[in-house]
Structure 1
Amino acid sequence: MATRLVQIAMNARDDTAVGRFWAEVLGWGIDSEEPGVTNVEPLGLPYPDPSAVFIDVLSVPEPKTVKNRVHVDLATTSAAHQAELVARLRALGAAPADVGQQDVPWTVMADPEGNEFCVLEPREIYRDTGPMAAVVVDCADPRAMARFWGEAMDWTPHEVTERRAVLRSAKGVGPYLEFIRTPDTKTVKNRVHLDLRPYPGDDQAAEAARLRALGATDVDLGQGDVPWTVLADPEGNEFCLLTPR
Structure 2
Amino acid sequence: MATRLVQVNMKARDDAALGAFWAAALGWEISSEGPGVTNLEPPGFHYPDPAAVVIDLVKSSEPKVGKNRVHLDLATTSTAHQTELVARLRELGAAPVDIGQGADVSWVTMADPEGNEFCVLDWHDPDHDTGPISTVIVDCADPHAMARFYSAATDWTLLRESDSNAVLRSATGVGPYLQFLRTPDVKTGWNRVHLDLRPYPGDDLEAEADRLRKLGATPVDVGDIHWKVLRDPEGNEFCLLTPG
User: Where on the TM-score scale, by shorter chain, does this alignment land: which range?
Assistant: over 0.9
- Tell me the distance in 1 between the aligned counterparts of 2:186 and 2:36: 29
Partner of 1:165: 166
Residue aligned with 2:66, SS: coil
- Tell me the distance in 1 between the aligned counterparts of 2:29 and 2:127: 22
Partner of 1:66: 66
**What is the TM-score normalised by the length of structure 2?**
0.98
Q: 1:86 to 1:126 in 2, by over 3 A?
A: farther
Q: 1:214 to 1:125 in 2, by over 3 A?
A: farther
CA drift of 1:180 comes to: 0.2
Residue aligned with 1:38, SS: strand
The alignment status of 1:189 with 2:195, answered yes or no, reads no
8 Å CA contact 2:147–2:158 kept in 1: the answer is yes
Partner of 2:87: 87
CA drift of 1:21 comes to: 0.5
**What is the correspondence of 1:90-239 to structure 2 with a 5 Å cutoff?**
90-102=90-102, 103-124=104-125, 128-220=129-221, 223-239=222-238
8 Å CA contact 1:75–1:127 kept in 2: the answer is no
**What is the TM-score normalised by the length of structure 1?**
0.97
2:193 maps to a residue whose letter is: V
- Tell me the distance in 1 between the aligned counterparts of 2:108 and 2:95: 10
8 Å CA contact 2:137–2:178 kept in 1: the answer is yes
Residue aligned with 1:213, SS: helix
Contiguous gaps of at least 5 residues in structure 1: none
8 Å CA contact 1:50–1:171 kept in 2: the answer is yes
Taking only aligned residues, the RMSD between alpha carbons, in angstroms, comes to 1.0
Residue aligned with 2:16, SS: helix
Partner of 2:23: 23
- Tell me the distance in 2 between the aligned counterparts of 1:23 and 1:127: 23
Deviations 1:24-55 (A, max 9, x none): 01000000101000001111010111100000
- Tell me the distance in 1 between the aligned counterparts of 2:36 and 2:90: 25
Q: 1:74 to 1:126 in 2, by over 3 A?
A: farther
Partner of 1:47: 47
- How many residues get paired? 243
1:170 maps to a residue whose letter is: A
- Tell me the distance in 2 between the aligned counterparts of 1:56 and 1:184: 25
CA drift of 1:162 comes to: 2.0
1:206 maps to a residue whose letter is: A
Identity fraction in percent: 69
Residue aligned with 1:124, SS: coil
